[in-house]
Structure 1
């Protein structure tokens, strides 16, 4: 890359529009740059979009903004008269949001202490009201303490919740999968649970062997490949029910439907198959009689 090409590339990267005259002048710069100089220069620069997507930059911006909040909280704690021990512990608390909760809890505790002192010298009627306010503050303090969680605790809770959702989804899928084996005409006259377990085992094994899986797509059971695409055979999407029926029939788990009975032949005098000469002569004579009757009817019309 020459210096002119580099300048044009950097202008595009920085969102700088060059007019025709400027572009012409820059293109006339044709000094080749040594080695990977141009690549290294381009790689070290950021657009606004790439900067906002860079994790190092994002973390630095967050840290700077939250550091300012932490500093302000320490000043606020001193203004409220919170002791140095509290402020020290505040610095050791992990997470800005947890520090905010700590300050809030300390404020509530200070209010409770103040009310307790006021209650000592107050009339009985006022004492009752102050006691109700103290109990209210104590409840808020308890809730405030529950809100403080460590990063590890938060990650554990999220992971546990995700695991629970996965288990529930798996259980629901299994229940829907069982409907594929409902109302089957089983060949073995055994406990229905035995037939169901056998069918499930064969079904899951066949799915694994073919590298496909059963999924719940917005309430509809479908078969998917490992790439997440519908499962096709001979350019036709295979439905889970058809897949199950074919598998169970192939494994001889379903009763075979008896073929329709062969009609009982009607005996015909003289043979029955129409080849006897006497039968053929009688049939010809009957046909001739029918024709004569039809001719008479036409003449009388």
Structure 2
């Protein structure tokens, strides 16, 4: 049975919710699961804390259908939405927002998507797809076979941090003139032929870059962070905790930077000699000076967990 990364740690992060005193039984605290996947985090929270309700989002319709079956016994306490996490607050009423005490997001592709070869994520897949939402048009095949050499170079350098991005882009453009890339297996084999293996499979960072581009992962994450900040500014999320799990440095950097900005008391421009803003603008507090990472046991049982990092922020309650 698939177990979500850092599941025990997520349960511990939101343990405080169980002690919140809600006088009215209809006012149970809400946790928003921005990336439901197979429902591991939501299931663990529902099992651990009998008073919470969960509003869960995912843009992968297949994942939602599987999670719905897995969470059937908790159907009275969970509400499912087929939407990307950047749109969550446009689907939640003011009454719901006023009860939110936790937000979790597990950013990136799930093990379930990687393991399903028909989804076109894995090195051996007969497709070159990588769409989390299969209803969207942009695929990895379109990117590899139509983007210019310059665009591919920027993509592999910015999103994959691939050291020889220019060489790879040129090789891809030359090869597709003869024959377009049709499958993940074709692309991963091609990369392996031209670049040496240095620990990771040489196509790992290439696939990362393509997946980020196909699903606009960094853009979606920034939209989520912006919507959280805006929702707090409207008077909601008081005392709520935000836990975000990322799997590569670009995502983690984005989360770290936004949490740091939210915790700033003074928001005056750096060149300001003396504070003029009132020095009381912090939205809350960073609870993880260093990110929470999987222990050795979890990594032993799930190699994909080794790069996971969890950062937690708590909004002010005044």
TM-score bucket (shorter structure): under 0.3
User: Which structure's residues are more often helix, by fraction?
Assistant: 1
Task: Say which one has the larger Rg.
Answer: 1
Bigger RCO (CA 8 Å, 6+ sep): 2
